[in-house]
Structure 1
Amino acid sequence: MSIRIGLIGAGANTVAQHIPGFRRIPGVELVGVVNRTPESSRRIADQFGIPRVFETPEALCADPEIAAVCIGTWPYKHRDYTVMALEAGKHVLCEARMACDLEEARAMYEAHLRHPGLVAQLVPAPFDFRLGPTITRLIAEGALGEVREVTVRLLNGQALDPGAPLHWRQRRDYSGRNVMMFGIYVEIIERWLGRHAGSVSADGAIVIPERFDPETGTMQPVTVPDTYVVSGELARGARITYHFSSVAGGAEANGIAIHGTKAVLRWRPGDTAELHVFGQPHPHAIEPDPGTDRGWRVEEDFIASIREGAPVRLTSFEDGLAYMRVVDTAHRSWEEGRRLPLPE
């Protein structure tokens, strides 16, 4: 079964992962692309031997030869292009984060429900591909006992230099209510520990108020927090605290700590982890269960769902809607300066 794919947006992840991933799969063809400008569309087409350049996403979605669309834009276009593609009868692989806010995510999810015969998949948070299934099993089997507290910390100092140019992630008009890597880690936590529940409270600050914008050649305001702390709770009863900052170094302390009544699990970026069982003198390294370290197989999984009807595992639109409710509510909490309940 030959599957022809069109690309809407060809940013860094599309170039680094999606295009090579699709080209490795027998019977899959990349047949068209439309990027932000005609020049960038032609550049991608020439670089990767894609035969057609479309003038608009509408024209690409209307092409009857294209069976599936890979949306690689920033979040500000995810809803519009996802809904358009599904309504045109195309399978959709959409880049993360799912949408700019919860309302847009709901629109995408509802479009997916209207077209149950089409595959709708989000690009998953990739940081736990090695150990995620094993950590999920350990928690489910009670290796930690009852989980009481969870802390997530990512301090990277990437925006310490006030002379660094404005990034799209620092612009709310492009990224919406997504703040730094908060949504990525919400997705990972919900894989391991289940959904958030109750309420959330967020506090943050824009430390460097403006940066040079290479697109306009002018100084432009930063509209996404540089530092962000969110507290909440999980449906299983544990408390959770997130701390993200792009203006604070401290990589040695980064990671996720899950505190149970029997043990503490510490995961670090790079997908390594250790389990410290109370009463034992030394922690032991966690290794992946046999057959669970699948690595990056996003494009293969998407095509398998189209060809074989395999259910979307990483990441479904339902799971995306779940993490967006946390992302959206936390951002509104920061804006309003008060704790807010999570919507159902």
Structure 2
Amino acid sequence: VGTWPYMHRDCSIETLKAGKPVFCQARMARNVEEAREMLAAQKESGQVAMLCPPPIGLKWDRVIKRLLAEKTIGKVLTIRVSMMGGDYLDHDAPIHWRQIREYSGNNVLTLGIMAEVIHRWFGKHKSAMAYAQTHVTARMDPAIGEEREVDIPDAVWVNGEMENGALIQYSFSGLAHLAPKNCVEIYGCHGTIVYDFVEEKILTAQLGESSLKEMAPSDDQSKVWEVELDFIRAVRGEARPEPSFEDGVDYMEWVDAVTKSYRMGAKVTLPLGG
């Protein structure tokens, strides 16, 4: 299913009803309600269903997991995610489908894809307190020949808690010209780990050290993005589908919690009802 998210539920459910396995693009759906319907259909059908995995952070995924498992920096206390660029600064640019909730759903920028990365390394979120900003509130839609409301924010800031006890802060923006490199910063009681997504580097420092140093993991510790092969293996029963529809429901729940928070101006706890 390679459409925009507004078609994912219907296409996936009909395919599962026809007795066929499903590979669906991310985001899984427009919201968690649609995602739950997809998961229910998958369970009823007994077919294999897999979502497109995020390439972000994939190369050194095994290394990060090992460093965390070995408690190289001790207990993780704080996580900071920065994903910022200037794509939405141009007043005259036409609207992008990702700025239209009808098509894209509740996801904002890289909120959903980074939730997948964070879930993979640290587990689930416990709460969200979010703030959103829209710089240009209406843009020309060439498909209809007139302006359309921009109903997905241009930027969102999120403060949250993780189930493992860590605090997390996300900065997502399409309004940041020459922003610093996109990265995840992991602060533990014994040191720091930084994953630079732009240059695919891992930097670390222990307490007492005055600067971060680049790790040099061997190539056999790296992973490559081979989604088609992963799906074939899952269909053959040789591997677990990853991300699964269960994983997708988890990250869509986080996306909806953030949306609910910035709309209400209040902290939202997870899991959401429903």
Q: How far, CA to CA, are the matches of 1:310 and 1:248 in structure 2?
A: 40
CA deviation string 1:100-151 (max 9, x = no partner): 11111111111121123x2100001111121112101101110110111111
My pick for the range that moved more, 92-101 or 301-310, is 301-310
Q: What's the counterpart of residue 117 of structure 2? A: 188
The alignment partner of 2:103 has SS state of helix
Matched, 1:135 2:64: yes
Whether the aligned pair in 2 keeps the contact of 1:134 and 1:289 (CA below 8 Å) is: no
CA deviation string 1:47-106 (max 9, x = no partner): xxxxxxxxxxxxxxxxxxxxxxxx001111111111111111111000001111111111
Report the RMSD for the aligned CA atoms in angstroms: 1.4
Matched, 1:109 2:39: yes
Q: How far, CA to CA, are the matches of 1:128 and 1:332 in structure 2?
A: 27
Whether the aligned pair in 2 keeps the contact of 1:155 and 1:251 (CA below 8 Å) is: yes
Q: How far, CA to CA, are the matches of 1:335 and 1:283 in structure 2?
A: 38
Whether the aligned pair in 2 keeps the contact of 1:275 and 1:284 (CA below 8 Å) is: yes
Equivalent residue for 2:179, pick from 251, 262, 266: 251
The one-letter amino acid of 1:263's match is G
Matched, 1:168 2:97: yes
Matched, 1:307 2:236: yes
Where do 4+ consecutive residues of structure 1 move more than 4 Å?
none
Aligned CA distance change for structure 1 residues 154 and 143 (closer, same or farther; 3 Å): same
Equivalent residue for 1:334, pick from 262, 266, 271: 262
Q: How far, CA to CA, are the matches of 1:240 and 1:292 in structure 2?
A: 27
Q: What's the counterpart of residue 229 of structure 1? A: 157
- Per-residue deviation, 1:183: 0.6
Equivalent residue for 1:274, pick from 203, 208, 220: 203
CA deviation string 1:203-262 (max 9, x = no partner): 102110011111112111101001101111111100001111101124324311111011
The 5-angstrom pairing of residues 33-182 of structure 1 reads: 71-116=1-46, 118-182=47-111
- Per-residue deviation, 1:327: 0.5
Whether the aligned pair in 2 keeps the contact of 1:131 and 1:287 (CA below 8 Å) is: no
Q: How far, CA to CA, are the matches of 1:82 and 1:292 in structure 2?
A: 34
- Per-residue deviation, 1:282: 3.8
Matched, 1:209 2:140: no
Aligned length: 271
The one-letter amino acid of 1:189's match is I
Q: How far, CA to CA, are the matches of 2:61 and 2:216 in structure 1?
A: 10
CA deviation string 1:162-185 (max 9, x = no partner): 111110110000111111110111
The 5-angstrom pairing of residues 2-21 of structure 1 reads: none
The alignment partner of 1:291 has SS state of helix
* Percentage of pairs with the same residue: 39
Query: Could you list the runs of 5+ residues in structure 2 that have no partner in the other structure?
Result: none
Q: How far, CA to CA, are the matches of 1:253 and 1:297 in structure 2?
A: 25
Q: How far, CA to CA, are the matches of 1:343 and 1:195 in structure 2?
A: 10
The alignment partner of 1:183 has SS state of helix
- Per-residue deviation, 1:201: 1.1
Whether the aligned pair in 1 keeps the contact of 2:95 and 2:140 (CA below 8 Å) is: yes
- Per-residue deviation, 1:289: 5.4
Q: How far, CA to CA, are the matches of 1:200 and 1:295 in structure 2?
A: 32
Q: How far, CA to CA, are the matches of 2:224 and 2:4 in structure 1?
A: 24
Q: How far, CA to CA, are the matches of 1:79 and 1:90 in structure 2?
A: 15
The alignment partner of 2:236 has SS state of helix
Which gives a bigger RCO, structure 1 or 2 (Cα 8 Å, sep 6+)? 2
The one-letter amino acid of 2:5's match is P
Point out the structure with max Rg over C-alpha: 1
TM-score by length of 2: 0.95
The alignment partner of 1:252 has SS state of coil
Q: How far, CA to CA, are the matches of 1:114 and 1:309 in structure 2?
A: 21
The one-letter amino acid of 2:158's match is V
